[in-house]
Structures are given as C-alpha cells and as structure tokens.
Amino acid sequence: MIGTGYVGLVSGACFSDFGHDVICVDKDAEKIAALERGVMPIYEPGLDRLVASNVRGGRLSFTTDTATAVAGADAVFIAVGTPSRRGDGHADLSYVFAAAEEIAASLTGSTVVVTKSTVPVGTGDEVERIIRETSPDAEAWVVSNPEFLREGAAIEDFKRPDRIVIGADDERGRAIMREVYRPLYLNKAPLLFTSRRSAELIKYAANAFLATKITFINEMADLCEKVGGDVQDVAQGIGLDNRIGGKFLHAGPGYGGSCFPKDTLALLKTAEDYESPLRIVEAVASVNDQRKRAMGRRVIQALGGDARGKTVALLGLTFKPNTDDMRDAPSIAIVQALEDAGAVVRAFDPEGVEQAKPLMKSVTFCATPYDAANGADAAVLVTEWDVLRALDLRRLAAKMAQPILVDLRNVYSPQDAAAAGFQYSGIGRA
C-alpha cells in the first residue's frame, strides 16, 4: 500500500484483517515511526485496535522503503494524495506519477498495480506508460479501483461497501483483483468490473452527484427561509420517495472535506479539456463555494449586522464529525468571514484542533464547548459531533455575554433553544 493516509492506512489495515499480508509504505518517516510505536497519525474510530491486532498477527507492517514493499507483492495499491493543483484546480498527479516510477523501479515477478487514489480519467494510461518506460520487462497490469469509504465510518465502509469498482482492461489484472477482494465478495459486496476509464470516471461522477444532492437541499433551505417552509420536512417529504432517497439531504453550511471540493473541481477541468461542459456541476461548485462564506455573514446578521469587537464561539471545526480532517472544512471560511468583520473567534472541537491550528492562527482553542462560549456574543454550531448534540443550553446561555445561537446543522429545536433563553436561528427553518 503506497501512501499511508486516511485511505491507505484504513485499506491496508482492513486487507490485513481479511488475512492478506500487507506492507504500508509512506514517505513521511514520522508517520511510519508513529505507526511502529502504535500511534495513529489520524483519528478514525476503531483504527487503532484494528491496526494493533493485525500488527500482532504479523500480517501488517510499515516502512518508508517502497522497494522492499513492492518486491514480491502480488498487488501494489497507489493511495497517495491527489490534491487540487495550485492555480488551476486540476488534480495534482505528481504524487501518483512519482509513486508509479518508484513502483516500476522495484517490480519483480507478476504484479497488478492498482490506482486507489482518485484520479482523472486517463491517468491509468499514464501510469501504465510510466511503468512500461521505467521497467520494460516487468510483467505488470494497471487497474483502477477507486475508494468510496467515508472518513469517520471508514472501516465499516471498507468492510461492507455498497460496491467495489474494478476497472481493468486485462483479464489477468481482473483475476488478481478478484482474489484480493474475495473475502468481501463472500460478504456479498457487489464487484463491478468496468473498463479502466469508466472506473476512473465513476468515482468523480459519484462525488459530483452527492455534492449536487447536498447543494440542492441547501438551496431549498434558503427558499424555505424566504417562503416560510421547513427544509427538514421538505427533505423528508422528498427523501421518502425511493427514486430520490433520504441520504445526503441534510441542509447545512455547505460541503467541505478532502474530497468533494477538489473532486468536483477536477471533474470540471476534465470536462473543459474534453469540451464537454458539466453545467450542473459548475453551478454546484460555485453555489457551495459562496455558501461557506455566507455562513459567516449569517452569524454577523444574527449579531445585529456588526461583528466588530464581538466574540464568537465556534462549536465543531472539522468538516464532519468523527474525523480530525480539516481539509476544506466550512469552518475555515466562516472564521475568515468573521475575522474580516472584526470578530474575535474562540473554538471547540473534540479531535480537529491540531489540524485546525495552522489554518486559523488567531483563534483561541478551548477544552470544552462551555469554555468556548465563555463571554461570547454568539455561539455557532458548525459540526454535529455527538458531544455537541445534547448541550445543556441553559448552562451555555448563562456563560455567554449575549445568548445568540446559530445552529448550522439544525441539531436543536427552535423551541428548546428559545426556552433556554437563546435568540436562535437554524438552516431552512423560517
């Protein structure tokens, strides 16, 4: 497993749990050293136990040395990052191509090289070219196997996926992948074989579709506020229709995270390159981008239109609960909008503080939500962590200079918040 981040570490740990022998490789020596001490470099529920038991069982190990990991492997997965390229939003494939070169130089025997990273359509062709050029005699087949796990529920998602997509243009590649995933196949996870290009596109199409669903309900929420509707009723009313489905219909501050923002942008770049516009996705990306900062303005409005010198408490910072991942979290744009308007920001998050610190340097981080609210003029619920779902609202209000609660996840009922003395506003509820 080349790349031991959210995807590589979870995939490696799960494959080893199925009985495969797995070596996880990372360039980041600190990450590997921590893993060797049993310290997880990321927060993901259940991961520490899964890693520890497979390390004990002798099936899972860690190294910084690609060559030893690749030599003798039946399958090598590329699970390195594919962030947005600075300046233009294309997927930055430099890590994937560098990994491909290193793998190619270390191949022995017959190996399937699997791209698990999210990569634009056609990347498999380039990986194949790099391997053929670097190592013309190697017997290698390049396969696409996009990953659909969600941070926060990654192990369960990996072990019980809705589907496994394998894009392979060669029967030998398909055969090895069938063996690799056989334990899951026995769990009745559907194995979908496609061409390599289709598999690459499936990942982006899935993320763009989910981003569209979120953005759709967010705009409906705005309309609800104007016309006097309740977006939660509307979401339920449409979601009970099986053709629509109830998931991803929770109105909120806009999608963030390490995948949707960068993947929608990268898909748009592919569409541009092939002169095949994706206007719906264009609208989704732009609406969502504006929405995150608009959430900051919503808080300023709740403060009476002027935030200068006011203190705001943010409750939850990560882009969703049960992860420490801060990449493209809506909280970043909200903090910026508030600070631009002259507010002072205090914040609480159960797991995200270490990753948040470099992204929001002027914020004061607090150990509890009540500490964050201490002396604040407004509290903003940004991420619906379990520990933030049952706050003692009276205690929270009593801590604050002004009892204003902006609930960007509709966790609290407007009646309960009002009963606790709050001036309350949610999302999409008139």
Residue ranges of the annotated binding site for NAD(+) are 26, 31, 82, 118, 151, 262, 327
| Residue 26 contacts ligand NAD per CB under 6 A | yes
What is residue 57's DSSP assignment? T
| Residue 4 contacts ligand NAD per CB under 6 A | yes
Reference 4, options 63, 75, 71, 85; nearest CA is 63
Q: Where are the beta strands (DSSP E) in 51-105?
A: 60-63, 75-78
Q: Which is nearer to ligand NAD, 4 or 232 (CB)?
A: 4
Give the nearest distance from C-beta 78 to ligand NAD in angstroms.
8
Element (H, E) at 112: strand 110-115
For the chain, helix, strand, coil in percent to 5 are: 45, 15, 40
Q: Which is nearer to ligand NAD, 323 or 425 (CB)?
A: 323
313 φ/ψ sector (left φ>0, alpha ψ -120 to 50, else beta): beta
Q: Which is nearer to ligand NAD, 16 or 66 (CB)?
A: 66
| Residue 118 contacts ligand NAD per CB under 6 A | yes
Contact 151, 120 (CB under 8 A): no
Q: Which is nearer to ligand NAD, 5 or 428 (CB)?
A: 5
Q: How many residues bind ligand NAD (CB under 6 A)?
A: 28
Whole-number Å distance between alpha carbons of 381 and 400: 14
| Residue 2 contacts ligand NAD per CB under 6 A | yes
Whole-number Å distance between alpha carbons of 381 and 384: 7
Contact 124, 104 (CB under 8 A): no
DSSP-derived 3-state class of residue 186: helix
Rg (alpha carbons) of the chain, rounded to whole number: 23
Altogether, the residues listed in the chain come to a count of 430
| Residue 191 contacts ligand NAD per CB under 6 A | no
Q: Which is nearer to ligand NAD, 80 or 420 (CB)?
A: 80
Residue of 85, 95, 185, 375 interacting with ligand NAD (CB under 6 A): 95
Q: Between β-strands 75-78 and 110-115, what pairing exists: parallel, antiparallel or unpaired?
A: parallel
Whole-number Å distance between alpha carbons of 140 and 137: 9
| Residue 27 contacts ligand NAD per CB under 6 A | yes
- C-alpha distances (whole Å) from 140 to each of 70, 107, 130, 143 are 12, 8, 11, 10
Whole-number Å distance between alpha carbons of 102 and 108: 13
Site string for ligand NAD, 47-86 (x = CB under 6 A): -------------------x------------xxxx----
* 259 is an active site residue: yes
| Residue 161 contacts ligand NAD per CB under 6 A | no
Give the nearest distance from C-beta 280 to ligand NAD in angstroms.
21
| Residue 98 contacts ligand NAD per CB under 6 A | yes
Question: How many CB atoms sit inside 10 A of residue 358's CB?
Answer: 8
Contact 321, 153 (CB under 8 A): no
Per annotation, catalytic residue among 14, 24, 224, 259 = 259
Footprint of ligand NAD on 242-261 (CB under 6 A): 258-259
| Residue 208 contacts ligand NAD per CB under 6 A | no
Q: Which is nearer to ligand NAD, 262 or 298 (CB)?
A: 262
| Residue 106 contacts ligand NAD per CB under 6 A | no
Give the nearest distance from C-beta 180 to ligand NAD in angstroms.
17
Reference 80, options 29, 117, 114, 128; nearest CA is 117
Residue of 7, 76, 168, 184 interacting with ligand NAD (CB under 6 A): 7
**Which residue minimizes CB distance to ligand NAD?**
5
Residue of 151, 324, 339, 351 interacting with ligand NAD (CB under 6 A): 151
| Residue 270 contacts ligand NAD per CB under 6 A | no
Give the nearest distance from C-beta 98 to ligand NAD in angstroms.
5
Give the nearest distance from C-beta 94 to ligand NAD in angstroms.
9
Helix axes 330-340, 279-302, angle to 10 degrees: 50
DSSP-derived 3-state class of residue 324: coil
Q: Which is nearer to ligand NAD, 99 or 341 (CB)?
A: 99
Contact 340, 370 (CB under 8 A): no
| Residue 90 contacts ligand NAD per CB under 6 A | no
Which positions are catalytic? 259
Binding site for ligand NAD (CB under 6 A): 2-8, 25-28, 31, 66, 79-82, 95, 98-99, 102, 117-118, 147, 149, 151, 258-259
